Structure 1
Amino acid sequence: MTHASRHAVHDHGAHTVHAHEQDHDTGVQAEILDLDAEVLAEHIASITAWLPVAATPRHIVDLGCGTGAGTLALLERFPGAEVSAVDTSTSHLDRLREKAEEKGLADRVHTVRADLDAAWPDLGTPELVWASASMHHMADPDRTLRQVHDMLAPGGLFAVVELAGFPRFLPEDAPEDRPGLEERCHAALDQRHAEKVSHRGADWGPKLTAAGFTVEGLRTITVNLGPPPTDAVGRYALTSLRRVRDGVAQALTAEDRTALDRLLDTGSPHSILRRDDLTVRTERMVWAARRS
């Protein structure tokens, strides 16, 4: 990718597209993404270190970059690389640019606002494409896989990172008056996602093969942090469970809603921020696929 073409995809018009924002609560989502990056930084770094790159990439594309957890980890892993960071959210891209500037990396990050279910922007010919927790949101993921295959440089690598599910934070016997509350919330959330996000939890291996890739690696990252929780873990749990409540409140019993609201009330003695038994438990699957 030439110097000129890199700047051709820089999102100079990001501040003019707020009217097209798709997510009504991007502020909450951005906070969760930032906390996810902070709490799970070591695990994200372990994924980038594992990637079986054939040669050190000079140009990387991050599809669905969010607020930049993957982008910044990839820049640290490959200090000679530049990243084209793609997302539909203007506010997420703004936040990514802020973080890149704080770290002195602004000249290596080129943001691109695009809806990948519509027309694709010109992203050049990267040697590495990264898609973390974004593929399952695609309306036609098979089409997206073919697009990535055709975009990649020969011998280039495509890394697909997907969540096994949202993190768990509470012990199984918590809270004391409604044991198993978190699992019931997640069961309701999983049912909702099964109806609306049908590709969540998909096995991307066969799909990658069908798109012309050779799958060279598959890894499961198991996360189990704490206790005792850090301040960031407490805020991560609070923000994440607030988001879960927004999605499943109508599916819960009145007793479960009351118990959940007590946990989410930061002024309550039962607040999740006052618990010393929080953990972060989750899994991520990583597929590393090469274009022949």
Structure 2
Amino acid sequence: MTDTSPHPAHEHAHGAPQDPDDQSEILDLDAEVLGEQTASIIDWLPVRSDPRRIVDLGCGTGAGTFALLRRFPDAEVTAVDSSAGHLHRLRHKAEEAGLADRVRTVRTDLDGTWPELGAPELVWASASMHHMADPDRTLRQVHGALAPGGLFAVVELAGFPRFLPPDAPADRPGLEDRCHAALDRHHAEHLPHRGADWGSKLAAAGFTVEGERTITVDLGPTRSEAVGRYALSSLTRIRGGVAEGLDAEDLTALDRLLDTEGPHSILRRDDLTVRTEREVWAARRD
């Protein structure tokens, strides 16, 4: 569910070229740390009956795919992404879990020609809609693909998770807030659809919006290894997007946090939390 790239998908696979913008690790950590929240969103969806055909748009490494498979044990999921690496990783995880017969992967660029997706009863799009070059077109495509009475679930991020207390680090309090402010400026330039009014867009595409919900996440403080790695991976990605927006002192303090061998490494902290929000829209094709 977490993404800083201006692209809707990413590359990395055994036997395929390495993509410098690969996000497999952070996507897997997001699934591990926030799996309970994803499950609660799926439980909330106003499905009329358990769907048997589901599409996960912009599936990444499968956080939504596997949560949907667990919630709907008779369903098959078509996982769609433009990243060969993410789809390879998803298939491998499906095989390990004995779920390969319930997963079909489709590699495509959703800003281009759409693949044949059948007539799914549920389409799930988590942290992917804001990447589309023309999201209104994508919404119309989903509306046309859904079976009559089918449901479209759109999950969007209020922003990157926050991990540090406000007074950390001691020599540069408020560092994380300044990083997020710089990241917001970066996203305003590169991701113009982040923060869009998805309810209005869904209605304009012909959907009936049946529910809207904000999920507030506040976990910790904790010294969980997964949370530490999640914080490290997240802040590493943030640094890649905000380096020009921070002063030298902030960059030095951030680099100390990201130095896994140093005494100030974020992995050594015992006061990490996970604070974020997810917004959800459930929209029906009548």
> Normalization by structure 2: what TM-score?
0.94
Q: Is 2:178 aligned against 1:184?
A: yes
Aligned twin of 2:230? 236
Change (3 A) 1:274 1:145: same
Residues 115-154 of structure 1 aligned to structure 2 (within 5 Å): 115-154=109-148
Aligned twin of 2:45? 51
Q: CA deviation at 1:15?
A: 7.9
Q: Is 2:21 aligned against 1:25?
A: yes
> Aligned letter for 1:90?
A
Local SS of the residue matching 1:60: strand
* 1:245 aligned residue (214, 229, 239): 239
Q: CA deviation at 1:151?
A: 0.4
Q: Is 2:257 aligned against 1:263?
A: yes
Aligned twin of 1:37? 31
Could you give the per-residue CA deviations for residues 114-146 of structure 1, whole angstroms, max 9, x where no partner exists?
Answer: 000000000100000000000000000000000
Residues 1-292 of structure 1 aligned to structure 2 (within 5 Å): 18=16, 24-26=20-22, 29-292=23-286
CA contact (8 A) 1:128 1:158 kept: yes
Q: CA deviation at 1:24?
A: 3.0
- Distance in 2 separating the partners of 1:221 and 1:148: 24
CA contact (8 A) 2:13 2:86 kept: no
Structure with the higher fraction of residues in helix conformation = 1
> Aligned letter for 1:249?
A
Segments of structure 1 that go 5 or more residues without pairing to the other structure are 1-13
CA contact (8 A) 1:58 1:81 kept: yes
What is the total number of aligned residue pairs between the two structures?
A: 275
- Distance in 2 separating the partners of 1:34 and 1:15: 14
Could you give the per-residue CA deviations for residues 30-86 of structure 1, whole angstroms, max 9, x where no partner exists?
Answer: 100000000001000001111100111110000000000000000000000000000
> Aligned letter for 1:142?
D
- Distance in 2 separating the partners of 1:92 and 1:228: 29
Local SS of the residue matching 1:131: strand
Q: CA deviation at 1:250?
A: 1.5
Q: CA deviation at 1:229?
A: 2.7
Segments of structure 2 that go 5 or more residues without pairing to the other structure are 1-11
- Distance in 1 separating the partners of 2:244 and 2:190: 16
Runs of at least 4 residues off by over 3 Å = 14-19
Local SS of the residue matching 1:279: strand
Q: Percent of counterpart pairs with the same letter?
A: 76
> Normalization by structure 1: what TM-score?
0.92
- Distance in 1 separating the partners of 2:145 and 2:244: 43
Q: CA RMSD in A?
A: 1.5
